[in-house]
Amino acid sequence: MKSAIMILAFLTLIVGPSYGEELKKLNLDDASLLGTTIRTDTQVKAEGKGSIKITTQWPTTICLGEVAGLKIDNARLVYSAKVKSDLDGSAYLELWAHVGGGQYFSRGMNDPVSGKADWKTIQTPFLFQKGQRPEKVTLNLVINGKGTVWIDDIVLSRQALK
């Protein structure tokens, strides 16, 4: 029995772990091969010195940032941005609220940009009841399709609940 275990251990060392049949290998020598590029565009902008230009070959979600330390409860938090597109598909804003150990989202699917569109302000709201305070919020741009989206002038605002 000991010799069988030793032979099995020896064969495991020689053969090594089995990863199965390789189906595809992603080459990361050139970032443009990833299918999505993000860069500052100083020529196309809604305000300031530039916008963020995102070009993608397939649907993707881009995290634009996280904001912590918001002193908000019993209010509506509104995430808005100016967005321009040249897409085969649509794009919208997404907000994730991290509250009490849970994660909850709001998607601006009723206020997207699609196709070829000039600058448009889009938004998504999130309601915080009395006593609900976010530890942080995550701000995303969701692109359903392929093409280019420019985003600029991101604003978080607070609106009182009535």
What torsion do the CA atoms of 54, 153, 72, 65 make, to the nearest 10 degrees?
30
Continuous segment of H or E residues that includes residue 149: strand 136-160
- CATH number, position 108: 2.60.120.260
Q: Is 55 within a domain?
A: yes
Structure tokens at 12: 């495991």
The dihedral through the CA atoms of 102, 105, 56, 39 has a sign that is: negative
Q: Is 77 within a domain?
A: yes
**Which residue is associated with the tokens 């302000």?**
121
Arithmetic mean of pLDDT, 47-56: 94
Residue 109, number of CB atoms within 10 A of its CB: 13
DSSP state of 26: -
Band of residue 49 on the pLDDT scale cut at 50, 70, 90: very high
DSSP state of 31: G
- Give per-residue pLDDT as tens, 18-48: 568 888 777 777 776 778 888 889 999 899 9
Structure tokens at 130: 């009395």
Q: Is 12 within a domain?
A: no
Band of residue 4 on the pLDDT scale cut at 50, 70, 90: low
Band of residue 161 on the pLDDT scale cut at 50, 70, 90: confident
- Give per-residue pLDDT as tens, 56-115: 999 999 999 999 999 898 999 999 999 999 999 999 999 999 998 899 999 999 999 999
pLDDT of residue 73: 87
pLDDT of residue 153: 96
Q: Is 22 within a domain?
A: no
Is 93 within 8 Å of 141 (Cβ atoms)? Answer: yes
Q: Is 21 within a domain?
A: no
Residues with Cβ within 8 Å of 9's Cβ and at least 6 positions away in sequence, in order, are: none
Domain that holds residue 64: 35-160
pLDDT(7) > 80 = no
pLDDT of residue 162: 74
pLDDT of residue 1: 62
Is 42 within 8 Å of 50 (Cβ atoms)? Answer: yes
| Count of domains for the chain | 1
Name the nearest CA neighbour of 92 among 38, 144, 45, 51: 144
pTM: 0.81
Q: Is 40 within a domain?
A: yes
Where on the phi/psi map is residue 2: left (φ > 0), alpha (ψ -120 to 50), or beta? alpha
pLDDT of residue 127: 94
**Which residue is associated with the tokens 């604003």?**
155
pLDDT(52) > 90 = yes
Q: Is 78 within a domain?
A: yes
Q: Is 150 within a domain?
A: yes
